[in-house]
A = this chain, B = another copy of it.
């Protein structure tokens, strides 16, 4: 199918964007296509890339908030998670996909359990995603073997599914939940299968001190020593890092997923953005899961990122709007190694259309500032992923039924 976005604003100029199959094939003069969307007075932008989330955790949105990490996890999140199977993950991920489509995210990086459920949801909902089964062995041999099997099987499942929008990955959870032996296995497996590695790094100070106690080194040194650091590693959070450690991550071309809302809400700390920028590290943005955010709106995440670094560094020039926007688009694309995050001829057709006739985008002095500091996901009018229209005029097919099904799945879960 061909789609023409007619008279849309791209970098301040009115253009016609022609999409054939799953790619943008021409930005210029074409005036006809099978499907024409009039974009006069609207901006066309790359779809946003959410580089760290646990999509099925929409099921736990607002289930438990404002608690200490310990109480939150042990008394609330884990007991509920224990009851979640593939069917629940499928519905939670469907809800997440719906929310992302409605807020302009076209691609996300996910690590969780029962990920076949998420794969089915992504397959049906039309988004692009990088999917990894969590790998947690709690330093037990038998659990490690179980995890290897689950991961090998999941990668095979995705290959059989053969959906070009879904990229397989592997999700070793963190240094405090995965043994050294398993981390080495994961790294080798990822190398062999050419997989991204989705990981939590230096989220809390406790993680660092526990790692020193267990391995005699802080996480970055430990991971470097075992050959774990590489350009396919996407490290979420990455808060408690020294300048030297950031240099080490940079030298291995490790990619960072910055999760400012989650880091504030769980009081984990603030990522050293300026040091990362100075060392040239690729910084992307992720919402984390809905239990610690509580939404998947990447517009909001850009704003909170841009605000928090100004506030904490006491410098209002830090992370200007265009850097936040770049992190949420090209930064994410680079982190995930995907040909998205910008609109150009030949690139994948993942894009969103913003209606500029809205009070919060008026009078319209500067689009990027408006997007980062004033917009939210509801400004997105149309969402296109892989050359397919997933939302037009804010309508997504089947939205109401999906919400009802999720409600009923969650009712059963709570009562179970």
* A residues with CB within 8 A of B: 58-63, 65-69, 72, 95, 98-99, 102-103, 261, 263-267, 269-270, 290, 293-297, 300, 303-304, 306-308, 310-311, 313-321, 357-360, 362-367, 369-370, 373-374, 376-378, 399-400, 403, 406-407, 409-410
Contact = CB atoms under 8 A, between A and B. Distances in A.
Contacts of A295: 360, 373-374
A265 B62 contact: no
Contacts of A99: 359-360
A105 to B, nearest CB: 12
A300 B376 contact: yes
Contacts of A263: 311
A415 to B, nearest CB: 13
Contacts of A95: 359, 362-363
Contacts of A303: 300
Given A68-B317, A295-B373, A62 B365 contact: yes
B406 A66 contact: no
B311 A61 contact: no
Contacts of A311: 263-265, 267, 269-270, 308
Contact of A62 (B58, B315, B369): B369
Given A294-B369, A294-B370, A310 B98 contact: no
A66 B316 contact: yes
Of A358, A374, A409, the most chain B CB neighbours within 10 A belong to A374
6 contacts: A59-B363, A61-B365, A99-B359, A266-B310, A267-B313, A363-B409
A362 B406 contact: yes
A307 B376 contact: no
A357 B321 CA distance: 32
Most buried by B among A102, A359, A374, A403: A359
B297 A264 contact: no
A373 B62 contact: yes
A376 B378 CA distance: 9
Nearest to A98: B359
Given A294-B370, A374-B62, A269 B314 contact: yes
A265 B403 contact: no
A407 B98 CA distance: 33
Contacts of A369: 62, 65-66, 294
A403 B58 contact: no
